Chains A and B, each alone.
Chain A
Amino acid sequence: MNNLFVFCIGGTGLRVMKSMVMLLASGVEVPGYNIVPILIDPHKDLGELKNLKILIEDYGKVYRSINGNQPNGQPGFFHTNILSLNRLAGNEEDVFEFDQRIDATFAEHIDLNNLAVNDVSRQFIDLLYSEVNLNKPLSLGFKGSPNVGTVILDSIDTTSWFQTFTSQVQNGDKIYIISSVFGGTGAAGFPILIKKLAASQNQNVRQAVKGGLAVLPYFQLDTPPPNFSNKEIDSSTFATKTKSALLYYLDNLKVDYLYFIGDKAGIAGKIYKNDEEKQENEAHLIEFIGATSIIHFANQKQTDTKQEYSIAIADNLDCLNLCTIGQGYNNYIRHMSNFFILDEVLKYLPKETSFPHNVNLQINEEFLYKTDSYKVLIEIINSYSKWLNELSNNRRGFEPFNLDISNSTFNPVIGKKVSLKRFLKDIPFGISYYFLKIIEAGNGIPKEVKDARNPLRNLIYITSEGISKVNQDLFK
């Protein structure tokens, strides 16, 4: 199995990776690859970063609980392995971010005070950097200033973690980089990283198929109050920064596959609060679509000429669903619907004392529901539910499912009406129909999958099979 190393640079990189984890949890496959995320964001206190690390660690726990040491994941939910670089290098602990927190200011970091005031280097620095650039601590990131990020990240290849990374890249592995072009960290990190990869001592790194996602502006920030301290990021400069970055990428970014995503028309949708410390931006459609580029890239082969991709939506609406986003997304939405239904199923299942597979598959209180791995699964599902809510509330929004379904009017997928018949009579469609298919999947569970000592594996198998069987018909 090869590895797909995904560098997630800056806030946008993290958010796209979060969407990617959600897609992988729902069973979207990346055939032939483990995903190895490497998170780069100097803003270590960012809630998004902390939450993403927990999410990826939890994913790994569930994956390992289901699959143990098997080389290939079981089909269905959590099929693809997300591996930390640390674990890949043979350690037991998961570490996903490696760049260090810097509490010093930029001026302190570059030792500006050691330069005399009339030194030409100092004057050059004063020309390129404002007082604000020089004096703010780097612990909050580069705050929309790629000129700062470029200097800080330039020494990335001298770090021990980068050495570890280059030593782990094998023949056939791929490398993907996600960043925004309008921020500070991403806009700086993307081209630097590409440059460092091209200069690597390891031939496998130099020859690896490389791709990248350049995220163009898709939101804007409000104008903070005059006395608010964390207000240096100005979204009115996003367009200018984007043009500068793209001009540079045109001739200087040596990747095999370059993906562009943005939403010029949707920018005026929802205005985010301008707080660079918290950056509590809700999940966005662009981040979800950006995650699909990773899967597209994984399926591409070596190419002699640089390939550039972008993607569209079908209808220019404030909020999209299955019918309006475009047919190209159907497969992703189908998997997402499977995981959405799993959430509903698991609300009922622990209370079903007569559930047919309580004993033979050990899906019961004693062997499953009280275990740590099950609790972690529930945490992931809760995060998924929150992510779906954020996607639907944001603008431009994405709301493929009825997030508030009740059994009486069970219609999970917006735009898809379900009509089931048996002997010309209507069959009631509700969560119990999914249960029926889950039970049947359990009746037919293959011997090589069934494990009396691994009820979580059994649960994931029967729910994946049962739910996807129903939804396959739904999505025809």
Chain B
Amino acid sequence: MNWLYDWFVQKYETWTYFVQSQNDQAQDIAIKFRHEFTSLGYLCAFLVLLIGVITIVLYYYLGYNKLPGFRYRLSHWLTFLLITILSVFIITLVVVWFAVPNRLGAGPYYFFLSFINAVYSAITFFLLSVFIKKLSNAKRTPF
């Protein structure tokens, strides 16, 4: 999971710098936090991504589009895309926050992780749409 998230999360601050910038007493805590964040935290983020996007895509194509209302129109798909991005961002933030308690002012790491997860959710939503749409009433959405 590290290769998926680390490159972006460290745009805020590298882990090396994060650890080395702590005083001697906090360095062990920083190392432990880093380990938890990059294992459990990344895992939680990935699960939120997968479950969230798959659920929303399946609902859009196989549930939402079984009802009237011209729901195959691009505007509806874009709305669902936006919902996916926002909900993955928020849920990632909340889940990881509770799974890996914040220590040593590492708040921005959570934000960066949630942000990149939201971007991935948009890409995944699009890619899944290409396959799932053929099974639904919205065969030409998004294209």
C-alpha spacing A356/B70, complex, angstroms: 11
Contacts of B115 in A (CB 8 A): none
Take A354-B72, A354-B74 as given contacts and tell me if A436 and B139 are in contact as well, using a CB distance cutoff of 8 Å: no
**B140:A358 contact, CB within 8 angstroms:** yes
Bin the interface of chain B by size. 10 to 19
Q: Are B67 and A422 in contact (CB under 8 A)?
A: yes
Per-position contact with A for B41-73: 1 when CB-CB < 8 Å, else 0? 000000000000000000000000011111011
Q: A354-B72, A354-B74, A355-B72 are in contact. Are A427 and B140 (CB under 8 A)?
A: no
Main secondary structure on chain A at its contact with chain B? loop
Interface pairs A-B: 4 shortest CB-CB: A433-B68, A356-B139, A432-B68, A436-B68
* B68/A356 in contact, CB under 8 A: no
- Asked whether A440 lies within 8 Å of B137 as measured between CB atoms, the reply is yes
Least distance between B83 CB and chain A CB atoms (Å): 19
**Which A residues lie within 8 Å of B74 (CB)?**
353-354
In the assembled complex, the CB of A271 is this many whole angstroms from the nearest CB of chain B, namely 45
Which secondary structure dominates where chain B touches chain A? loop
Q: How far is the CA of A324 from the CA of B67 in the complex (A)?
A: 33
Q: Is B92 an interface residue (CB 8 A)?
A: no
Q: Does B81 contact A (CB under 8 A)?
A: no
Q: Which residues of A contact B (CB under 8 A)?
A: 352-360, 422, 427-430, 432-433, 435-436, 439-440, 443
B23 to chain A, nearest CB (A): 59
Q: In this complex, what residue of A is CB-closest to B67?
A: A427
Contacts of B138 in A (CB 8 A): 354, 356
B140 touches A428 (CB 8 A): no
B142, closest chain A residue (CB)? A354
- The chain A residue sitting closest to B143, CB to CB, is A354
Judging by beta carbons under 8 Å apart, are B67 and A359 in contact?
A: no
Judge whether B129 is part of the interface by a CB distance below 8 angstroms: no
Instruction: Give the CA-CA distance A435 to B137 in the complex, in Å.
Output: 10
B121 at the interface (CB under 8 A from A): no
Interface hits, B66-96 → A, CB 8 Å: 66-70, 72-74
The answer, among A352, A355, A358, A428, for a CB contact under 8 Å with B68, is A428
Chain A neighbourhood of B137, CB < 8 A: 356, 436, 439-440, 443
